[in-house]
Amino acid sequence: MTTLFGVFLLTLLVITALAVVRARHLVVAVMLLGIFSLLLAVNFVLLDAADVALTEAAVGAGISTVLFLGALALMSEREHYGSSRPWLSLVVVVSAVLVVVYATFDQPRLGDPEAPVLNHVGPWYLEKTPEYVDIPNVVTAVLGSYRGYDTLGEVFVVFTAGIGVLFLLSAGPGAQNNGRRRAVAEKKIGLRDERLLHVIGQLVIPFVLLFGLYVQFHGEYGPGGGFQAGALIAAGFILYALIEGEQRALEALPQGGLNFLMVGGALLYGVVGLAGILLGSNFLAYSVLAQDPVFGQKLGIILIEAGVGMTVCGVLLRIFHAFACRERIR
């Protein structure tokens, strides 16, 4: 039954992907991309990867859709045919697909207990986590501690993306000019006239934020963690900005606060890492953070997850406001 559902989902995934490519109206394409992400998230759930599914749903279906729409608000909604060579892309995509399909012939069967992935580092993580880190969600232990250096890198990927967008949008006509910016912001009063949205939104927002905090601090016990929580909290603020107007959202969480979140989160993560060196062990070694090494691991993971959540939330909101403040070029 699960297999059948999996095949069904994957077929839908392919159909949605083709529809995204075929769509000429970009808003339609963005919506289809959101559906694509949701289908993918369900697929991840089927494969028992709840953490990945939560991230995909929050970031792929939620935030990136909003950011795409923000970008579309600044430009034309229809796709223009450029001088690109579609046959070349087609050849690359088709040959890549064929090669990957060819590769699957020798791959271990899904769920095969003899598969190499299940017989090397995986069992070690499952076996040793209760002893070294002692948290129920081993995925969090892997991401936060064993491979915490990768996660530090991912936080900086998000940070770099934020810097990149801010740098690009600060150029040229329509760039950040405070007077004009305020004018633009005041013109956009959001959806305040839509009574229904207004009421429902106000009801939902506290729960979105609360759920975000739950995901942030419950990551050690169940699926969740800083990435998902940061995206959820950012989604709550974006919803507020949509129904109350951008200016009100900026009053609630001003630009300076967002900068603090963005920079502070990344630094918090780094400083926790450096503390490991200063306390006589290696970078990102949390065991030395407290007398009891297991408690040190827990403390370290909570702190770096907080850093992750801060940076993700700050970057996403900064990007959102950067798009929202800019005047439409055409």
Partner 1 sequence: MSSIDAHLPVLQVVVPLLVAPLVTILRPSGLAWAATTATSFMALMIAVGLTAGALEGDIQRYEVGAWAAPYGIELAVDSFGALLLLILTGASTFALLAGKASLDQQIESGRQPLFFSAWLLVLAGLAGILVSADAFNIFVFMEISSLASYVLIAGGPDRRALPAVFKYLMMGTIGATFYLIGIGLIYMMTGTLNLADIQVRLVDVAGLRPVVVAIGFITVGLGLKAAVFPLHVWLPNAYNFAPHAATVLLAACAAKVSLYVLLTFDFVVLQPVLPEHDPHFGAFLMPLAVLGILAASAVALFEPNLKRLLAFSSVAQIGYILLGASMVSLPGVTASLMHMFNHALAKGALFLAVMCLATRLPSLELDDLAGAAKRMPWTMAAFVVGGLSLIGIPGTAGFTSKWYLISASLEVGGAGGWLLIGVIVTGSLMAVVYIWRVVEAAWFRVPLAEPTEVREAPALMLSVTWLAAAANVYFGLSPWLQTTLASNGARMLLGEAP
Distance (Å, whole) CA 299 – CA 293: 10
If the CB atoms of residues 1 and 100 are measured against partner 1, the closer one turns out to be 100
Distance (Å, whole) CA 274 – CA 265: 14
DSSP calls for 117-174: GGTTHHHHHHHHHHHHT--S-HHHHIIIIITHHHHHHHHHHHHHHHHHHHHHHTSSTT
Nearest to 6 by CA among 58, 44, 52: 44
If the CB atoms of residues 114 and 193 are measured against partner 1, the closer one turns out to be 114
Closest separation between CB of residue 325 and partner 1, Å?
15
Closest separation between CB of residue 194 and partner 1, Å?
36
Distance (Å, whole) CA 47 – CA 33: 21
Q: Which amino acid is at 191?
A: L
If the CB atoms of residues 202 and 259 are measured against partner 1, the closer one turns out to be 259
If the CB atoms of residues 204 and 279 are measured against partner 1, the closer one turns out to be 279
Closest separation between CB of residue 259 and partner 1, Å?
7
Which uninterrupted H or E stretch holds 34?
helix 26-46
Closest separation between CB of residue 117 and partner 1, Å?
4
If the CB atoms of residues 106 and 193 are measured against partner 1, the closer one turns out to be 106
If the CB atoms of residues 2 and 107 are measured against partner 1, the closer one turns out to be 107
If the CB atoms of residues 11 and 259 are measured against partner 1, the closer one turns out to be 259
Write out the residues near partner 1 by the rule CB under 8 A. Answer: 92, 96, 99-100, 102-108, 115-122, 124-125, 128, 145-150, 152-154, 156-157, 159-161, 163-164, 166-168, 170-172, 259, 262-263, 266-267, 270-271, 273-274, 276-277, 281-287
If the CB atoms of residues 189 and 277 are measured against partner 1, the closer one turns out to be 277
Closest separation between CB of residue 327 and partner 1, Å?
18
> How far is residue 165 from each of residues 67, 140, 158, 215, 322, measured CA to CA in Å?
11, 29, 11, 27, 8
DSSP calls for 244-295: H-HHHHHHHS-HHHHHHHHHHHHHHHHHHHHHHHHTTS-TT-GGGGSSSHHH
Closest separation between CB of residue 265 and partner 1, Å?
9
Closest separation between CB of residue 294 and partner 1, Å?
14
Closest separation between CB of residue 318 and partner 1, Å?
11
Give, to the nearest 10 degrees, the angle between helix 2-22 and helix 26-46: 160
**Cβ 143 vs Cβ 151: under 8 Å:** yes
Nearest to 254 by CA among 170, 169, 318, 191: 318
Closest separation between CB of residue 108 and partner 1, Å?
7
Structure tokens at 313: 């939330």
If the CB atoms of residues 76 and 170 are measured against partner 1, the closer one turns out to be 170
